[in-house]
């Protein structure tokens, strides 16, 4: 069976934000990549996790739990989401290792179906430790996507300049020319 194509408009963000971006709006309709295990398989493959974790119903349930927890922490408040993210994090741990390349870390899970969910929650902690002010929601009013701003000056506003940024510029242009 050929792999399904990833239909999302924004991919390649850090794992936690990429998980949030499994929900998006398209032509005014809400879309959800994680509506079934086929979508989970697409998301796992897009993030290089398909060789480590099964795209089954248990993994889907736990991944959705992590997405809801992260949505609360990112879109509402850290205070509101902290307990929910922590609940996901209780299902894994980091084991320190020594490899031929030097010190390393290896995530471990008592139940592998928690793996993708735990990795996404852990990634969110890493983003918060790195640059919490660079975790952003797209500024377009109809967009629900998130991104990690890696621009030099930290002023990125749109999930994509080609999509949401262009729509905003076109809307402003239309408003100016209509009034003239």
Cα-Cα-Cα-Cα dihedral sign, residues 60, 63, 69, 73: negative
- Inter-residue contact 81 to 72 (CB < 8 Å): yes
For the chain, percent of residues with pLDDT exceeding 70: 89
Nearest to 87 by CA among 62, 123, 55: 62
Model confidence at 21: pLDDT above 80: yes
Q: With a cut of 50, say whether residue 7 has pLDDT above it.
A: yes
Distance from C-alpha of 56 to C-alpha of 46, rounded to nearest angstrom: 16
Which among 138, 120, 25, 125 has a CA at the least distance from the CA of 68?
120
Mean pLDDT, all residues of the chain: 91
Give the per-residue pLDDT at 164: 86
Distance separating alpha carbons of residues 4 and 25, to the nearest angstrom: 20
- List, for residues 90-112, the tens digit of each pLDDT value: 999 999 999 999 999 999 999 99
Q: What is the pLDDT of residue 167?
A: 62
- Answer yes or no: is pLDDT of 65 > 70: yes
Q: What are the tens digits of pLDDT across the range 133-171? A: 999 999 998 899 999 999 999 999 999 877 786 665 555
What letter does residue 114 receive in the DSSP assignment? Answer: G
pLDDT band at residue 1 under the 50/70/90 scheme? very low
What average pLDDT does range 71-82 have in this prediction?
A: 96
pLDDT at 168: 53
**pTM across the whole model:** 0.89
């Amino acid at each position: 069976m050929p792999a399904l194509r990833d239909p999302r408009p924004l991919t390649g963000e850090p794992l936690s934000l990429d998980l949030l971006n499994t929900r998006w709006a398209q032509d005014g309709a809400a879309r959800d990549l994680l509506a079934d295990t086929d979508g989970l398989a697409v998301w796992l493959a897009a993030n290089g996790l398909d060789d480590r974790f099964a795209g089954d119903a248990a993994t889907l349930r736990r991944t959705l739990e992590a997405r809801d927890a992260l949505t609360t922490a990112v879109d509402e408040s850290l205070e509101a989401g902290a307990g929910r993210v922590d609940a996901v994090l209780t299902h894994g741990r980091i084991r320190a290792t020594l490899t031929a390349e030097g010190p390393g870390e290896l995530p471990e899970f008592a139940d592998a179906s928690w793996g993708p969910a735990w990795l996404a929650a852990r990634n969110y902690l890493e983003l918060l430790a790195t640059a919490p002010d660079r975790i952003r929601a797209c500024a377009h009013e109809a967009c629900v996507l998130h991104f990690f701003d890696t621009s030099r000056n930290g002023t990125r506003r749109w999930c994509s300049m080609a999509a949401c940024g262009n729509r905003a510029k076109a809307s402003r242009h239309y408003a100016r020319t209509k009034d003239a």
